[in-house]
Amino acid sequence: MDTSPALLLLLALGFCCPGIYGQSLEIKVGSPKDISQLQVGQRLELECRADRNSGAFWIHKDKKGTLHFIVFISSAAKTTFGNQRKATHFQASKHNTIYYLTVKSFTPQDEGNYFCVMNYNQMLYFSPGQPAFLPATTVAPTTCEPTTKGGKTEDPNLKTPDPERRMQEDLNFFCHIFIWVPLAGACVLLLIALVITLVLCQQTRRRRCRCKR
């Protein structure tokens, strides 16, 4: 996480305690352009409007819920970024009580919610989050064209097995296994029992014949 421990603690308190949200300080975050169809590499522009000139933090909350400190813009328009990478990836500025944040080239790692945070009268005030996400990608279904063979048109879909029929065939196969395997086992056992009985009977007859002599 790209935040100092002190800032992290303040942010956690701000997100956990509803009373810290703007009570006497109004903050609004939005985009001057339509960002409902963001694309990779696109320039994302956000603005934070407030009724106080007390400096502002820009915070990014990614899709996993992790907070990332981006930049602090002082009341004198001085910017302090979290690290050098953010200084090259983002751009920040200020005009009156409007604080601007620009993502120079939007990437999937930039998806999430963006917050504007202000420290006023020793209290943190959070703006509503501004979502910025890439559109969900959908895979178009593939269609099979009929092929011509020997002057006749063959539809590949006709060769595709019906899932319900395939399932029924599998069920029938398993039913046959459960029925015929025990039956075959029982027949084998009966055959073994019959052989044993015949052997015992043969031995008994031999003993009787010896006793009569």
pLDDT in tens, the chain (213 residues): 454 544 544 555 454 444 444 456 889 999 999 998 999 999 999 999 998 898 999 999 999 999 999 999 999 999 999 999 999 999 999 999 999 999 999 999 999 999 999 998 888 899 999 999 999 866 566 665 655 555 555 555 555 556 666 666 665 665 566 566 677 777 778 888 888 888 888 777 766 666 555
Q: CB–CB of 144/156 below 8 Å?
A: yes
- Choose among 53, 33, 63: nearest CA to 45: 33
Whether residue 195 sits in one domain with residue 105: no
HSE, CB side, 13 Å, CA atoms: give it for residue 173. 6
Count of structural domains, the chain: 2
Report pLDDT for 187: 78
- Domain assignment present for residue 201? The answer is yes
* Amino acid 140: pLDDT: 60
Q: What is the pTM of this model?
A: 0.58
Distance CA 59, CA 82 (A): 10
**What distances in angstroms separate CA 146 from CA 98, 120, 142, 159, 163, one per listed residue?**
61, 70, 13, 11, 21
What are the start-end ranges of the E strands in 51-160? Answer: 56-61, 67-73, 79-81, 90-95, 98-103, 112-120, 123-126, 130-132, 147-149, 152-154
pLDDT of residue 210: 61
The DSSP output letter for 144 is: P
Give the structural domain span for 190: 163-212
Please check whether residues 128 and 167 belong to one and the same domain. no
Question: Does the residue 17 lie in any domain?
Answer: no
